[in-house]
Amino acid sequence: MTYTQITHEERYAISALRKLGYSSAAIARELGRAPSTISREVRRNAWRTLGRTYWVDRAQSYTNERRRTSRRNTQFTADEWAFVEYWIRQDWSPEQIVGFHARFGIRTPSHESIYRYIHADRERGGTLYTHLRVMTKNLRKRYGTYDSRGRLAGKRHISTRPPGAEHRSRFGHWEGDTVMGSTTDTACILTLVERKSGFIAIGQLDSRQAPETNARLRQLILAQPRPVRTITLDNGTEFHSYEKLEAVVDAKCYFATPHHSWERGSNENANGLIRQYLPKRRSMRGLTQRDCQRIADKLNRRPRKRLGFRTPAEVYAA
């Protein structure tokens, strides 16, 4: 038997009969439809935010949107959409995909079309939407206005950094911080970002004790192929051994004003990106350095708008 799509009038009937308590099978008998057709219609077009209530106007809106999306998407081949899907699954945003493809003259849908494609995939039960970054507020790990972790005398203030650090005109100027997971765990990560390229390095820490933090910081810095000139750090006690670090890595350490996290904007933005993989309040116990490296690699291979949709890895290696 040839299948015909549900009509607008039939949607009114489905909505009314459901309100009267009819089952999908009973509605199917009334309309002369297969029970699976009615079940599929309700499953696809019920209003999800209201407990899957079936409202006729909302159902018709969902159907119309799918038709519009389908017509738009026919101008691109299955292979072209498969290419887009590959980048989505690498956690790239639609804007990053479009910008990156434009660099190489690759034909690609607009970022609006890609968002619609992801939405349609989610309606079908797909998982592409899970790869979109979700911005969260309050990414920092401390509460209150008073920092009780100790004060550090004699440190260099961020305002005295060289111009190359402030204006991102030279490589080698980094910002660093530690980021906690669960408030009940001591395990955390050390994050570093190179200001000019946005290149990220992440280190695993069992605790924020100064000796352990210093050792991991030294390891990450010495692993860099380019000279490290300055490191601008948070005011936590984990960085109180900075003078020992300077003696080993030949770089000067600077410190932001307490409670002015925006002064280390590059690092704060990097921490937000990392939260896509290590959400707030998630325990970091059991996290390995290899896990940290995988996250850093993903972020360093993701194109950035401010870099002309080049990747931090490209810019840092140039």
pLDDT in tens, the chain (318 residues): 455 778 877 888 888 888 788 899 999 998 889 998 888 888 877 765 444 566 666 666 666 666 665 555 558 888 889 999 999 999 999 999 999 999 999 899 999 999 999 998 888 888 999 999 763 333 333 333 344 444 555 789 999 999 888 889 999 999 999 999 887 889 999 999 999 999 999 999 999 999 999 999 999 999 999 999 999 998 889 999 999 999 888 899 999 888 787 788 888 889 899 999 999 888 999 999 999 999 999 999 999 999 999 999 999 998
Vertex 30 angle, CA 50 and 43, to 5°? 30
8-state DSSP, 247: H
Three-class DSSP category at 194: strand
The amino acid that residue 277 corresponds to is: Y
Q: Cite the beta strand spans of the chain per DSSP E.
A: 173-180, 188-194, 200-205, 230-233, 252-255
Is the CATH code 3.40.980.10 the one for domain 158-317?
A: no
Angle between helices 78-88 and 94-103 (to 10 degrees): 120
**Residue 215, Cα to own-chain centre: how many angstroms?**
28
The Cα–Cα gap between 18 and 26 comes to 10
- Whole-prediction pTM: 0.67
Give strand ranges (E) for 8-104. none
**E strand or H helix at 65:** helix 56-73
Strand order in the sheet with 188-194: 200-205, 188-194, 173-180, 230-233, 252-255
